[in-house]
Amino acid sequence: MKGSFLRCFTTAAVGVALAVPALAATQLTGAGSSFDFPFFSKAFYIYNQKNPDVTINYQSIGSGGGIQQFTAKNVDFGATDVPMNAEELGRAGQPVLQIPVTLGGAAVAYNLPDVTATIKLTRQAVADIYLGKILKWNDPQIAKLNPGVKLPDMSIVVVHRSDGSGTSYIFTDFLSHVSPEWKSKVGVGKSVSWPAPSSVGAKGNEGVAGQVRSTPGAIGYVELAYVIENHMPAALLENKAGKWVACEPDTVAAAAASKPEVTATNFSIVDAAGENSYPLSGYSWIVVYKKPADRAKALYDVLSWLVGTQGQSNAKSVDYVPLPRNVQTAAQATLNQMQR
Amino acid sequence: MAPPRFRRVARFVSPVDHGFAAVVYGGSILFALLIIGLFVELVLGSWPSIAAFGPSFIWKSAWDPVNSKFGALPMIYGTVVTSLIAIVLAGFVGIMAAVFLADFAPRWLATPLSFLIELLAAVPSVVYGLWGLFILAPFVRTAIGPALQKTLGWTPLFSGPIYGVGLLTGGIILALMIVPTVTAISRDVIAAIPQDLREASMALGTTKWETATRVVLPAARVGIFGACVLALGRALGETIAVTMVIGNRPEISSSLFAPSYTLASVIANEFTEATTSVYISALIELGLILFVVSVVVNALARMMIWRVRGSA
């Protein structure tokens, strides 16, 4: 009885072991940012269609988890919304290449039941709302930006992400750039201590969007792709050049294009210069070892395709922002340092 | 010398019995080891945070990852208050439903009703969470909240602005999730009360209602209490559904309408993106506190059961 069970088990195990390599010659694994996931699933699916011998398994477990898995060498590449910092690079133990892979933006969505016009907000107004210094929608500071709009005498409910997120990082990075008070009082991070007295935390883009939709007077920042797909009203923001810009793929790309020399240590593109730049923009990154232990050639080929024109062309179809041409070139140059 | 109270009768013990005994012992020891291992692992994981903040972690209220300042008090408060709201609501409704199903409902109604209530337990918690966020929270903001404020607004419990999300909404969602546990177990306990008791009570001329509240429920109270403890355990540790509707604000407010935070929610929200080691360790320490809170609550409940049983 016992013997036959063991035999059965061994046969099954060998069967599985033989079947896996037959399905795919090379399997690459990655883990990290959940923001990247829709873009990656689309792009890697297309890549697998073109190169059936390579499959890429990406687990969207969050940037922090991705860095951890990458550092433990459980995955071939990690993906993160904020580049690895010096402490994290030290833990990795060997040289790491960080490559920008896609762009994101945060739209400032709001819920004002009887207002049909699109609200305009200066950078200072956004900061003051999130600091809790502007408490009502008909505050003179907002009213003077929106002449002709009848703003209600309604309390502003400030909604933010409760889960640690790259979108929160971009948003707080922006607030720190435009408001010294925010910088000293709160700072930049994926999770921060939100100071506004009427602030509410919601989980994920769907949580923030749901909270904003169901609460009259609410304001919240939501990932660009989510706003486009759900047709939410979002504020026009004043950029550094003093122009009013909407959160769109083109304005986010313009912010990125204004700073082609982006590196993992100098990566912030919030409050970017340029007439058409959207101020709440940021990159997402892929991290790989400079000398991968194995599967280096396959990994290089996939990433090279991903940051190139062909891979980036998949971004638009899922409402992501492709890297501008000059950033693609820079990403490719970094990737070429990989030993393969 | 007093004679032994009982003598072993079976002289022959088969090897199968020995094997079975080993498996049974092994199984129970494994559970004990698991719990101890979990505790040790939690303490080790939270050591950097324990070393950095000491016991003040438990009564500090700041939660500021940017400046590495952490305190657990608002989350402990949120966890305990939402669970209490849940057990008060679910306990009342669940026990009433159990009485109805066991003693009042005709069979053709009791069977499908029990099935439906138990089905509630099979709904994934994220579904409860999304329903809570999109349906319940707006309903609390527009209907339940204002009604409570109108009648009970003079108490600090029901004052202040109503956001929809908050302690009350979190408690209601939890109540929905634990009602099946309370109802199903209480119904079985009530059904197991000997029929003789009911007949004797009726023979004394009581009504059906008096029999249920004065005879059946007191007789079943230990079991019902146990059901509530099991349910409370689930409420304390429930994560996603509460996270969606609690408002996720680490602040202590007397109002049940105010946003709050629970231990499990913080971990779910922040663990994946926590990077510095003291931050991760502070989150693990929240897990340790949740573990200790659960053990303490269960131990207290168990002691109450023993007292009730002792006096019964």
pLDDT digits (tens, 9 = 90+) for A122-173: 999 999 999 999 999 999 999 999 998 999 999 999 999 998 888 999 999 9
**For range B139-154, the mean pLDDT:** 92
User: B239: nearest CA in chain A?
Assistant: A203
The CA distance from A267 to the nearest CA of chain B, in Å, is 18
Summary mean pLDDT of chain A: 88
Best of B244, B273, B281 to disrupt the A interface by mutation (most A CBs within 10 Å)?
B273
- Note whether A203 contacts B: Cβ–Cβ < 8 A: yes
Nearest to B270 among A157, A163, A193 (CB): A163
| pLDDT value of position A235 | 95
- Structure confidence at residue A35 as a pLDDT band (50, 70, 90): confident
CB contact under 8 A, B163 and A163: no
The CA distance from B298 to the nearest CA of chain A, in Å, is 30
Nearest to B273 among A62, A85, A207 (CB): A62
| pLDDT value of position A125 | 95
Burial class, B254, CB count within 10 angstroms (exposed 0-12 / middle 13-18 / buried 19+)? exposed
- Structure confidence at residue B13 as a pLDDT band (50, 70, 90): confident
| pLDDT value of position B203 | 93
For B86-108, write each residue's pLDDT tens digit: 999 999 999 999 999 998 999 89
- 3-state DSSP percent of chain B in helix, strand and coil, to 5: 75, 0, 20
**For range A171-177, the mean pLDDT:** 95
The CA distance from B86 to the nearest CA of chain A, in Å, is 21
Residue B312 has pLDDT above 80, yes or no: no
**b/e sequence A91-112, b meaning 16+ C-beta within 10 Å:** ebeeebbbbbbbbbbbbbbbbb
Chain A neighbors of B269, CB-CB under 8 A: 162-164, 191, 201, 203
| pLDDT value of position A14 | 44
The CA distance from B223 to the nearest CA of chain A, in Å, is 37
CB pairs under 8 A between A and B: 103
| pLDDT value of position B82 | 96
For B264-285, write each residue's pLDDT tens digit: 999 999 988 887 889 999 999 9
- Note whether A59 contacts B: Cβ–Cβ < 8 A: no
Whole-angstrom distance between the N-terminal and C-terminal Cα of chain B? 36
User: A200: nearest CA in chain B?
Assistant: B247
Residue A204 has pLDDT above 90, yes or no: no
Q: Is the ipTM of this complex over 0.85?
A: no
3-state DSSP assignment of residue B32: helix
d(CA A166, CA A33): 8
Q: In the structure encoding, which two tokens stand for residue A247, read together?
A: 């959160």
Residue A17 has pLDDT above 80, yes or no: no
| pLDDT value of position A25 | 77
Residue B256 has pLDDT above 60, yes or no: yes
- Note whether B71 contacts A: Cβ–Cβ < 8 A: no
The CA distance from B31 to the nearest CA of chain A, in Å, is 27
Q: What is the CA angle A74-B272-A73, rounded to 5?
A: 10
Nearest to B249 among A165, A200, A206 (CB): A200
Q: What is the DSSP string of B242-298?
A: HHHHS-------S-TTS----HHHHHHHHGGG--SHHHHHHHHHHHHHHHHHHHHHH
